[in-house]
Structure 1
Amino acid sequence: MNTEEIRKLFPILQQEINGHPLVYLDSAATSQKPVQVIEAIKKYYEYDNANVHRGVHTLGSRATDAYEGAREKLRGFINARSTEEIIFTRGTTTAINLVASSYARAVCQEGDEIVITPMEHHANLIPWQQVAKATGAVLKYVQLQQDGSISLEAVEAAVTDRTKIVATSYVSNVLGVVNPVKEIAAIAHRHGAKMLVDGAQSTPHLKVDVQDLDCDFYALSGHKMCGPTGIGALYGKKELLQHMEPVEFGGEMIDHVGLYDSTWKDLPWKFEGGTPIIAGAVGLAAAIDFLESIGLDEIDKHGRQLASYAIQRMQEIDGLTIYGPMENRAGLVTFNLDDVHPHDVATVLDAEGVAVRAGHHCCQPLMRWLNVTATARASFYVYNTEADVDRLIASLLKTKEYFGYAIG
């Protein structure tokens, strides 16, 4: 499929905003949903809606097959060894918190180290702050290079034999940096530490192979990869998950319950207490089918090309600052216009039908490292075109004019 054919599969894009055709450039926050995903969720609720793992009736069996089928599809998508290693969660945030609460608090002691980077999303920062406070562990940061990327030498300098966990994003949601997580995992393992990868921004764009990366944990969200909100997953190596305790208790995750003690189901269900996100899993499976029909290599190539084209066009605008590396970056560009607050930039762009993100992007420490309070961000996905970038550039020039600057 070419991009124009792909665009036709996204009903939300076929509308006008403020009298202009919608240009959606906020996919790093959440992607839009193709008709295949919408129809899959609709079909589930119309024909198969029932709780899973419990009823012996036909609807219950169909719902269970769809839910567990989605688990197998995700296993193949990221190349986990077994469905036992795929825990469905509400998203990346819940997945990281599960590791922090169940694994990290059990293994970390006073003086141990947790190594992260200043570019992390709050979801991959605050849980580790809480673990450090609860256990006495020390939170350490890998020093960033001038363009915001990570050198392996800086990782080597930060990780020691006291390090228990290294946690980093695969792709930065602000800088577009693609981190060398496979090499970072190897460094962590040489020191006896475990590696967690925040895959929120990488899974929608890159072909992920958790066995090749050799990460111990990998967290992802469905809503950034054309799936519905409220569904995500944690991949964990089986030998680690087996020894971890659940953090949510109730129905679905139990084996035997007595008056004073209980035992848990086997993996993966011991971590999935309560009625799971069944329709979300169905939608996620449809999203995986959709992405694989295009090809992750093509998706990555398309996003990088659009980011490169956007950078080229943005460099024509006087007073516009781009953050992050100019090359080898994922499909997003974060920027500021001199003396114009990013929220004002986003408001004027919205008046032109162009949707971008503005704010600190849940990365306040990184904003301080960049010496700004906020930025604007344009993020690209399978349905975006160079014409969308041209609309962005034209709208930015109008923004400058609106605020009284000479057009560069």
Structure 2
Amino acid sequence: MIQAFRAEILSVSHDPQHDPAAIRHEPDGLLVVEDGVIAARGAYAELAGRYGQVPVETLPGLVVPGFVDAHVHYPQTDRIAAHGDQLLDWLERHIFPAEKAFADKAHADVVAAFFLDELLRNGTTSALVYPTVHEQSVDALFEAALARDMRIVSGKVLMDLGPEGLRDTPASGRAGTEALIRRWRGRGRLGYAVTPRFALACSDTQLADAGALLAEHPEVLLHTHLAENLRECVEVAARFPEAADYLDAYDRFGLVTDRAVFAHGVHLSERAGHRLHESGAGIAVCPSSNLFLGSGCFDFGQADRHGLRLGLGTDVGAGTTFSLLHTQGIAYQAAQMKGTALDPFRALWLATGGSAALLHIGDRVGRLDVGQEADFVVLDPCATPLLARRTRDAGLAERLFALQVLGDDRAVARTYLLGRCAWNRDKT
């Protein structure tokens, strides 16, 4: 099946901070999709003649690649906006009790369905997702993603030092991980990630086993947390006195590779920055969560000095919004606290192609290039009276920045998966 969409189209092919040519913009563009894959993209005037027999759907607004959430917790959906604590106390008080409920597959099914629909409503088409320690939490998420044709990467949480009801063993963690990889390998648009909760939740034996699993399965990612909160960093240093820093605590177990996605990285040593660059590992920046839990602000200047690979994550439920559009605006504000004025096109890159590259799916999504899967979002610059007023007669950069700062789920008019409309604000 061939489809054609006429719209203003914007994407960013690579980090644009040193190369404005990374920004690709067709004020009046045509996107041609064949069997869910982009067959052509360009100016409408240049392509219309070649596809004159294909019905053209005109999309109002600005078309951008589907957002790619590089770090989010689906079992924390019902604990978003939980008051009163920083990271470690917040986990004990709010999150671990909620995650214990995912021993019940029926509960996991309900939350997974709501979670994925909420992603689509906010324009997110791909995500790297934390489940819980329970195998059935992964099954529920993957079943729901398969039904929706979403590109989701996830994997059973490993935490043999977790609280009662959220504790596995190195043996059961390995067995569950290997069973899930076998069960879901090659199905739909799904991917797997070996997922130790964080350094304090896993014994040395389990961390070593996570490194072994990563080495034995070259197609999977490593997904965990790094240097998020000062108290956490102090406790990691006490737990691993021989490690040079938090990252080194993982490195000693073979977990720092080019397939590793570390969430946060708010408190990185210079040595860790160098090692991250050397290894090819990357950071999922989570500004909403870092502000909400009082963890701090990610240092883009430090990251750029080391040439780190970056993506953007909402980190719900510590993150306070499912909207990666609004998270781009929060990233701008957090970067200002460290003396960096984040460019709106770079913020868009982080939420699309940057996150896709971090998740090793950048060849398939994130740039709206020919040959990529047709996952895209239609943004409405007139979604609210204030947005409409602010973007009236504004140039592209100013419109995009206003959408990031003032926009949220209301600005997502439609979300498309493989060329199919999966969310339509005006028909819901």
Fold shared per TM-score above 0.5: no
Greater relative contact order (Cα < 8 A, sep 6+): 1
- For normalisation by structure 1, the TM-score amounts to 0.31
TM-score, normalising length from structure 2? 0.29
